[in-house]
Copies of this chain bind each other. A is one copy, B any other.
Amino acid sequence: MTGNDARYVIGIDFGTLSGRAVVVRVADGEELGSAEFAYPHAVMDEALPSGRRLPPEWALQVPSDYIDVLKNAVPDAVRAAGIDPSAVIGIGTDFTACTMVPTTTDGTPLNELPEFADRPHAYVKLWKHHAAQPQADRINALAEERGESWLPRYGGLISSEWEFAKGLQVLEEDPEIYARIDRWVEAADWIVWRLTGTYVRNACTAGYKGIYQDGVYPSREFLGALNPDFADFAETKVAHEIGLLGSSAGTLTAEAAAWTGLPAGIPVAVGNVDAHVTAPAAQGTEPGQMVAIMGTSTCHVMNSDALVEVPGMCGAVDGGIVAGLWGYEAGQSGVGDIFAWYVENQVPGRYFDEAKAAGKSVHQHLTDLTADDPVGAHGLIALDWQSGNRSVLVDHELSGLVVGATLATRAEEVYRALLEATAFGTRKIVETFNASGVPVTEFIAAGGLIKNPVLMQIYSDVLRMPITVIDSDQGPALGAAIHAAVAAGAYPDVTAAGKAMGRVRKDAYRPDETASDAYDALYAEYSALHDYFGRGANDVMKRLKRLRREVLAEGETK
């Protein structure tokens, strides 16, 4: 790279509830300014804007909210950074995934067609839309029956969150909408399409969410066996030119330049996913380095030279994290979401009063109340499946469990048990990698939850590993900016750019032997419950969810 320090890139991170833009110096990754814009429609999980009710497990978004981020957060970030917009040499983005936009050939989202404004299936299906589980179940059963070669790449299970299950749900529940879908587009690519005028499908989501393996999608025969009308789904609605991560998808259009206040014609990096894009920002793209992006949910991404089959992974994708390596992804579908649900729904008012008086968040207050308790003092074990289980069971029909409560149990103790449950869930994933021949040699944490040092210490103790943490509050946006720098030609590849622009606190947490020993005992209990409820010995969770759906559906029809 040149010695010119006055060059900048913009990273834009599209999260679950808002988008964040950050202005980053190309030379060293310094973050000069950032801004956030909350999606006006947030997540629609109960009703459409029209008031029309949605069934359980749905989660939709409105695409114009993403454009509003471009119009607001980007100029705000540039202003906050105090830089000259003409010094911006590239843009990178990242998105939640698998988040799907049904569009016409020119990329118009179907919900923007007036006739479809009141049709749920015309809207964006957010990653946590979990209503396509019956379709996912059929995909998995058929793939196993047919011995499809791609199935082991996904740990043996395709998620209901992904492109094909969600697409099949549209076909079977609203065939008219399905017929009008010209492109079934990842939001990660849709936003780049809006920026550049060019539709390029990124290698990451194509591989992890789109079942694109060894250059092909699931076959016409396979898809037709699911549903005859689904046979041409991949070739007509999904397949498209693939772009490698870090390459340029095109250049900023005049229209998008007007939205953002940035120079038209600058390169825009190929789309990317919030978790994967963070790896170089956390300097975690070498084989064996697991980067856990811990927020609402947690994604675990790790590169390897080798392709092996790891049970219950979300996927192993060639170039899925950086070009040239096999990228593995695992995940926990609820983490911060669980803590937030608990605080909202199960914590008495006095804790809020105490937290306010102490000038801290309720989360921090609850955490602090048990921070000095010995491991096991609360007498509880929880399963962290309130939002289902992504890895290693890949089953969104699972649900939460808390065992051990007595009349002496306090709210902060249940909260602590939930923190620990998510750590046990992470250990389950790490152990599964280790047992499969792609050992985890370093654990790096990023995401909003790293701000809780007690939580991080629990993870270190439970994993018996030091934990390195990213030294940025904007990991995904910084990662997106790193990709922008590569797309703009400032660095030869993403790993090199990450070394210059990424930032970490190495081994910020180290395991405490006594705590680790105690957690081993609790983890054994977690594992027994995990297998009992998660591997078929007692499918009570699935039956309860089915009953709930049935009685609520009956209520709807009355």
**Residue A352 at the chain B interface, CB threshold 8 Å:** yes
A403→B337 contact, CB < 8 A: no
Residues on B with beta carbons closer than 8 Å to the beta carbon of A410: 345
Is the CB–CB distance between A533 and B414 below 8 Å?
Answer: no
User: Which one of A494-502, A504-512, A540-548 is at the B interface?
Assistant: A540-548
Q: Is A67 part of the binding interface, using a Cβ–Cβ cutoff of 8 Å?
A: no
Q: Which of A397-449 contact B (CB under 8 A)?
A: 399-411, 414
Q: Which of B334, B375, B404, B545 contacts A379 (CB 8 A)?
A: B545
Chain B residues near A45: list those with CB within 8 A: 408
Residue numbers in B under 8 Å from A538 (CB-CB)? 528-529, 532
Stretch at the interface among A27-35, A301-309, A549-557: A549-557
Interface residue? A114 (CB, 8 A): no
Q: Flag A156-168 by CB within 8 Å of B: 1 or 0 each.
A: 0000000000000
- Within the complex, what minimum Cβ distance (angstroms) separates A245 from chain B? 31
Please give, as numbers and ranges, the residues of chain B lying within 8 Å of A378 by CB-CB distance: 548
Is the pair B381, A407 in contact by a Cβ cutoff of 8 Å? no
Counting every copy of the chain, the complex holds 2
Interface residues as binary, A326-361 with B (CB distance below 8 Å gives 1, 0 otherwise):
000000001001100100111111101000000000
Residues of B within 8 A of A352 (CB): 349
A374 at the interface (CB under 8 A from B): yes
Cβ of A521 < 8 Å from any Cβ of B? yes
Q: In the bound complex, do residue B348 and residue A404 qualify as a contact, i.e. CB atoms below 8 Å apart? A: no
Complex: chain B residue closest to A529, CB-CB: B540
Which of A401, A405, A525 counts the most B-chain CB atoms under 10 A from its CB? A405
Query: What CA separation (Å) do A378 and B548 show in the bound complex?
Result: 6
B345, A411: Cβ atoms closer than 8 Å: yes
Q: Does A380 contact B (CB under 8 A)?
A: yes
Instruction: Kindly state the separation between the CA atoms of A153 and B475 in the bound complex, as whole angstroms.
Output: 67
The reply to whether B407 and A387 contact each other, CB–CB distance below 8 Å, is yes
Q: Is the CB of A334 within 8 A of B377?
A: no
- Minimum C-beta distance from A97 to chain B (A): 19
> Which residues on B sit within 8 Å (CB–CB) of A453?
none
User: Are A518 and B376 in contact (CB-based, < 8 A)?
Assistant: no
A405, B386: Cβ atoms closer than 8 Å: yes
User: Cα distance A381–B554 when bound, in Å?
Assistant: 21
Contact B399 A403 (CB under 8 A): yes
Provide the residues of chain B in CB contact with A341, threshold 8 Å: 407, 409
Sorted from nearest, which 5 A-B pairs have the closest CB atoms? A349-B349, A400-B405, A379-B548, A374-B551, A376-B547
